[in-house]
Amino acid sequence: MRLYVNIDHVATVREARRTDEPDPVRAAELAERGGADGITVHLREDRRHIQDADVRALARRTGTVLNLELGASPAIVRIAGGLKPHQATLVPENRREITTEGGLALARSSRRLQGAVRRLQDAGLRVSLFIDPTREAVARAAELGVPAVELHTGRYAHGWRRGDAALRQLRDAAARAKRLGLAVHAGHGLTYENVQPVAAIPELEELNIGHSIVSNAIYWGLEEAVRRMKELVVGSRLSVVGQPQSPTENRKP
Ligand code: PXP
């Protein structure tokens, strides 16, 4: 299981003052020292946190791998194709939202989305689609010919204290996606309190976690915040799978 750390909110703090600190590249280095297997950033159309220069610097200097989240807009897809991150995760994007609110609307799957998938794959990127954990979305993602999906864990994360229907839905979607030959990732709203049942889903191979890690970095420092999250993730896998997976499996050659 890989832990990718989303550092968008390091840039959110910087942009609050439009200054040059804190620096996402420095944050990426600390996250990697804490055990991150990859660094995730979202280059939004409104550039509210991560800027183009951040992605260029991270593409050059990330010691592990860079997962770039992006909407299907042609301008952003072009930037991604030029920077060649290890992975491009397509997400829905809406200017008014506080954060990504749901999975991609695959049932109404637009030419725009199909075009974005094709252009990113033509540029040699591994493409993942951020989807709701439903049977329909998993089936549609497989039809689109991508190698990976990221299951939206928001419903689980917001209601995990009130029963396990959302967890069952995630388990079911993960098993279906795996059967269809997709690599299965997950993320959104995961915290130190709620991550373990998700991390224990055996088909999952990557988690993307941002807000909770960056929030707790205010108390513990970023390296330690990542280390503690990694311990929880690896710990839940050890009890289920019975063997650790190499934390260096994703290092750049
Ligand atoms: N995965 C995707 C596709 C996202 O858009 C986000 C939020 O940017 C995350 C994971 C991480 O979510 P959180 O910040 O709530 O951990």
The SS3 assignment for 26 reads helix
* Local structure of 67: helix, strand or coil: strand
Residue 91 included in any domain: yes
Q: Is residue 253 part of a domain?
A: no
Q: What is the pLDDT of residues 177-215, one digit of tens each?
A: 999 999 999 999 999 999 999 999 999 999 999 999 999
Q: According to the model, what pLDDT value does residue 247 have?
A: 43
Specify if 158 maps to a domain: yes
Does 59 fall in a domain? yes
Give per-residue pLDDT as tens, 69-104. 999 999 999 999 999 999 999 999 776 677 767 788
Does ligand 1 lie within 6 Å of residue 157's CB atom? no
In a domain? residue 246: no
The model's pTM:
0.92
Other beta carbons within 10 Å of 244? 11
Catalytic residue among 9, 29, 42, 49: 42
In a domain, 252, yes or no: no
Cα 19 to chain centroid distance, Å, stands at 26
**33-69 tens-digit pLDDT:** 999 999 999 999 999 999 999 999 999 999 999 999 9
Query: What CATH number does the domain containing 66 carry?
Result: 3.20.20.70
Question: Could you give the CA distance from residue 131 to residue 102 in angstroms, rounded to a whole number?
Answer: 7
Helical packing angle, 111-122 and 74-83, nearest 10°? 10
Give yes or no: 188 in active site. Answer: yes
Nearest to 66 by CA among 102, 36, 44: 36
Atom number of ligand 1 nearest to Cα 208: 10
* Minimum-distance ligand 1 atom for the alpha carbon of 209: 16
Looking at the 3D structure of the chain, how many domains does it have? 1
> Which residue of the set 32, 69, 150, 223 is catalytic?
69
By three-state DSSP, how is residue 171 classified?
helix
Q: How far is the CA of 187 from the centre of ligand 1 (A)?
A: 6
Residue 237 lies inside a defined structural domain of this protein? yes
For residue 140, the enclosing domain spans 2-241
Q: List, in order, residues 6 or more apart from 207 with CB less than 8 Å away.
A: 1, 2, 3, 4, 185, 186, 187, 190, 195, 198, 199, 233
Q: Is 100 in the pocket of ligand 1 (CB under 6 A)?
A: yes
Domain contains 251 = no
